[in-house]
Chains A and B, each alone.
Chain A
């Protein structure tokens, strides 16, 4: 039995129904514990004061915003190559979550930037490329919404996702070329000597895990809803025919 069997809609409904409560529960636990730990049990940063606590929402949501696009790219490829319907539906289900994550990252970034840099918004490369990523998400969601035929919509949005990924990457580096930034570099790399200190790092990792699980739970839930909606549509069509 190959891994692709799990992508059969009936099989998918079976295992995702069982997995969903566990994933959702774990997501709730990780997020609540991570955020509570981060907000109340860690010391203030010596330069940033208590604003450093925004990191527990800002960093996970920003990471998810990028990785969700990567997941959409992967599922789009699977749809174009192997034509698994669940794959296309998962890409569709993930996009609005990605939009929300991008908005959260931008808004928490603005709230953090105001006290630290003295401005809500700056045309810094990271901020700008996030705004562009947001526009890409909007275009993708709008294209899904505009087309009636589900297979046509899945094909066209997949092509858009592939082309969009290339151009989003290009924009990321073009923006670097265009302006120098205020935003600090990555503070969570695995291969660097100097990272965020352990006090902040442990709750941060926990809340990142929480956000990832939350995303998986939401995608499972939304994909299941979409499959049910399709079945309902098929039943209604059959009713009208008969």
Chain B
């Protein structure tokens, strides 16, 4: 059975560092190589930044879920991406492109208007 780790944070910038540290700690525990951990930290930071912007006005919470174990962990951040096709928000465009560059198989699953859940996987140790 796969392990599942979840984190719920207030929509404040300080939460980004917490999400990054939490993600890196879980990945290292499962033996992810350090270079991939650095990529993971960046992708989590980008997705959480977008999720905070999406939730701060309504006071919603930012959620991060990690599932799996060996040979891979899957990271999910609801509202961590934009589903918009007009691409007028430079921050969300940059964040999405960085995540796709780091994890080409990352998924952006449209949910509510203009929002998308972000999912990507990192390999763990054998």
- Do A and B pair up? The answer is no
Q: Which residues of A contact B (CB under 8 A)?
A: none
